[in-house]
Structure 1
Amino acid sequence: MKKLTPKASFRKLAAIYDRMVEQYAGAAEPIGLTCEGCTDNCCFSFFQHHTYVEWAYLWEGLNQLPPDRLEEIKARAQSYVDQAQAALNRGERPHVMCPLNIDEAQGICGLYDHRLMICRMHGVPNVLVKPTGQVIRFPGCYRCQEQTAKLEAKGETAPEVDRTPLYKELVMLEMQFVGKNLRQLPKVDHTIAEMIVLGPPRLR
C-alpha cells in the first residue's frame, strides 16, 4: 500500500469528516436535536482517540494558532492530564473540560475545523459493526435520548448513523498515513489533552 504524504492524508481525512457532519445532520434534524440551551457540555466527556492521522491533523491545526494561544492550550492540556489521572486513580471517570474549549458556557471549540471524529459524531444515535460481527449501539447524548423517546411514544423510529463505513475508511487512511511501521508503533489511546502534551506523533 502506497504511503500518503501528510497533505494528501489530511485532505482525505477532511473529506471523511465532511461526510460525518452530513450524516450527523441527517440524523439530528428529524430527531429535533440541537445543542442550543443544553444544560450539559459534551466537552466534559472523557473521550480517547485512536489514530495517528487524527493526532497529526490536530497538530496541523494547533500549529496555525498564535504562539501565545498555543502555549495557553498546552498549559490547560497539562492541567487536564493531571486532573484526569487523579480521577482515574480514585476509580472515577474523569469529568474535566477539554483544553480546546474556549467558552465553557457555550461549548465552543477553539480548533473547530480540526476537531476529531468522536467530537463530530457524539450526540446522535449511531451503530458500529466490529470485524467480529459484534454490533455496538450508542443511543445518543441525554438530550438526544429525550427526543427519541418522544418519537417512539408516537410510534416513530429515530434514525441512527452507521459509523462502520466511516471507520473502515479511517482505518484505511491510517494505514496509508503511517505506512509500514504501523504494526511496530505503540497503539494510540489518548485524550486530546494527552495528544497536546505529548506533541506531534512520532511515526518512526
Structure 2
Amino acid sequence: MHRMMEIAAPFLERLKTLYADMDAAYRAAADHYGFHCDGCTDNCCLTRFYHHTHLEYRFLEEGFRALSSEDREGMRTRAEAARRDAAAADKEQALVRVMCPVNEGGRCRLYAFRPMICRLHGIAHELRLPGRPATRGPGCEAFTRQTAGRGYHPFDRTPFYREMALLENELKQTAGIASRLKRTVSEMIVTFEEMP
C-alpha cells in the first residue's frame, strides 16, 4: 500500500487542482442560478453512485486514513451495512436508498476528498463527446424546483471528464495497473485495508 501511495502522490496533487477547477465551475453555475444544496429531502448521499478511477480511490483512502481509528472503524461498519443493504435490495430487484457511510449528521466527513460525481451532481450540465452532438443532463429535483423558469447556464463537464481520464491513464501506466474500477464509496471503504 505504501508503495502505491508513493506512486500516486504526484497524481493526487494534480487531482487536487482538477477538483478545485470543478468546484469553481460548480460554484459559478450555482451562483448564477441562486441554487443552494442544503437540507434536501432527496439527498444525493442516498444515491448509489459508482466511481471508476483508481486515482479517486486513492484520494478517498488518503482522507479516510487521516481520520481517527475510532472514526475509521465507525465508517467501515456503516460501509459494511450499506453494502449488505444494497446487496439485499439487488437480490429483490428493489430500489435502494442507503445513506453514504461518510455522511454523519447530514454532513460529509470526507468532503474535501469526495469523488468527482459528488462534486458535479445536481446542476443541469452538458457533455460533448467527440463526433457526437452535445448532450444535456437535467439537475436534481431540488435544482429543478429552485430554478424553475430560468434559462440554462452553460456547465460543461467535458473538460473535467477528459482531464480525469488522462490523469487516470497516466497513473495506471506508471503503476502498472491493468484492472478497471467500479465501486461505490462503501465498497471502496471496506477494501482499503485489503488492497496493497
TM-score (norm 2): 0.89
Indicate how the Cα distance of structure 1 residues 126 and 201 shifts in structure 2: closer, same or farther if over 3 A, else same.
farther
Please show how residues 97-116 of structure 1 align to structure 2 within 5 Å: 97-103=99-105, 107-116=106-115
Q: Is the 8 A contact 1:27 1:160 kept in 2?
A: yes
Aligned residues with identical type, % of pairs:
36
Residue 158 of structure 1 aligns to which amino acid in structure 2? Y
Q: Distance in 1 between matches of 2:27 and 2:113?
A: 18
Equivalent runs, 1:109-128 vs 2, <5 Å: 109-128=108-127
Cα distance change of structure 1 residues 130 and 86 upon mapping to structure 2, 3 Å threshold:
farther
Superposed CA deviations along residues 74-97 of structure 1, whole A, max 9, x for unmatched, are 110000000011111221232000
Alignment-derived partner of residue 130 in structure 1: 129
Choose 157-166 or 10-19, whichever is displaced more: 157-166
Structure 2 residue 176 is the aligned partner of structure 1 residue 188 = no
- Deviation, structure 1 residue 31: 1.1
Aligned to 1:94: 96
| Letter aligned with residue 117 of structure 2 | I
The equivalent residue for 2:52 is 50
Residue 165 of structure 2 corresponds to residue 171 of structure 1? yes
Q: 1:160 Cα deviation (Å)?
A: 3.4
The residue number in structure 1 matching 2:3 is none
Q: Report the 3-state secondary structure (helix = DSSP H, G, I; strand = E; otherwise coil) of the residue aligned with 2:127.
A: strand
Given that 1:56 and 1:200 are in contact with CA atoms closer than 8 Å, whether structure 2 keeps it comes out as no
Which residue in 1 is equivalent to 2:140? 141
Task: Label 1:96 to 1:37 Cα distance change in 2 as closer, same or farther (>3 A).
Answer: closer
Report the Cα distance in structure 2 between the residues aligned to 1:202 and 1:39, rounded to whole angstroms.
35
**Contact 2:63 2:113 (C-alpha < 8 Å) held by counterparts:** yes
Instruction: Report if aligned partners of 2:124, 2:139 keep a CA contact under 8 Å in 1.
Output: yes
- Give, in whole Å, the separation in 1 of the partners of 2:137 and 2:131: 18
1:137 and 1:92 map into 2 onto residues whose CA distance is 28
Q: Aligned letter for 1:171?
A: A
SS, match of residue 149 in structure 2: helix
- SS of 1:137's partner is strand
> 1:158 matched to which residue of 2?
152
Alpha-carbon distance between aligned partners in 1 of 2:125 and 2:94, rounded to the nearest angstrom: 26
Write the mapping of 1:16-35 to structure 2, written as runs, cut at 5 A: 16-35=18-37
- TM-score, structure 1 as length reference: 0.86
**Is 1:40 the equivalent of 2:38?**
no
Q: 1:142 to 1:58 in 2, by over 3 A?
A: same
Q: Give structure 1 stretches of 5+ with no counterpart.
A: 152-156
Q: For 1:147 and 1:62, how far apart are their aligned partners in 2?
A: 34
Query: Residues of 2 paired with 1:102 and 1:94: CA distance?
Result: 19
What does residue 73 of structure 2 align with?
71
Maintained 8 Å contact 2:35/2:147? no
Deviation of the 1:202 alpha carbon: 4.9
Question: How has the CA–CA distance of structure 1 residues 90 and 132 changed in structure 2, closer, same or farther, with 3 Å as cutoff?
Answer: farther
